[in-house]
Amino acid sequence: MTGDKPAGGQANPAGGPSGGLLEHLRELFAAGVEYLQARLALAGIEAKEALLHFGVIIALCVAALAVTLFGYLFLCIALTLLIARFLNVSPGWVILVLALVHFALALGSILFAIARLKTSVFSVTLAELRKDQQWLSQTPKQN
């Protein structure tokens, strides 16, 4: 047979294609890198699409928040005028009371948030880390 040599290489003593283990590992590594590059390119494309997707969602949420705030403002104005007319008092006094109520709610929210900040977080994890630290700081017993 005249075609004992594989295309592009020499025959090795075992009769298989030449190149050896290092050549096969190089080709395997090159294929892995090419695969990783393709996946990273796909992830980059999808990241751009996701950024656009979430950008639209954030913009819609901001718009909804702005419209809600305007609605709340108009509701407060309407209630002020209705209460002033019903009680037959100046709208300025009703606005003052409404402002004080809002400030009281804001202060209550801030005090509640401060109280929540004082509660310990990750307490179980920190306790386990302290136990680990104590265990590591113990000197090993000599036999």
Q: How many CB atoms lie within 10 A of CB 134?
A: 9
The pTM (predicted TM-score) of the whole model is 0.53
Res 120: pLDDT: 83
Tokens 């950008």 belong to: 55
Report the length, in residues, of the chain: 143
Res 139: pLDDT: 72
What average pLDDT score do residues 8-30 get? Answer: 72
First CA to last CA across the chain, in angstroms?
Answer: 73
* Spans of all domains in the chain: 19-88, 90-132
Percent of the chain clearing pLDDT 90 (strictly above):
69
* Cα(99)–Cα(77) distance, integer angstroms: 11
Q: For all residues of the chain together, what is the average pLDDT?
A: 87
* Cα(26)–Cα(86) distance, integer angstroms: 87
* Cα(64)–Cα(58) distance, integer angstroms: 10
Res 141: pLDDT: 67
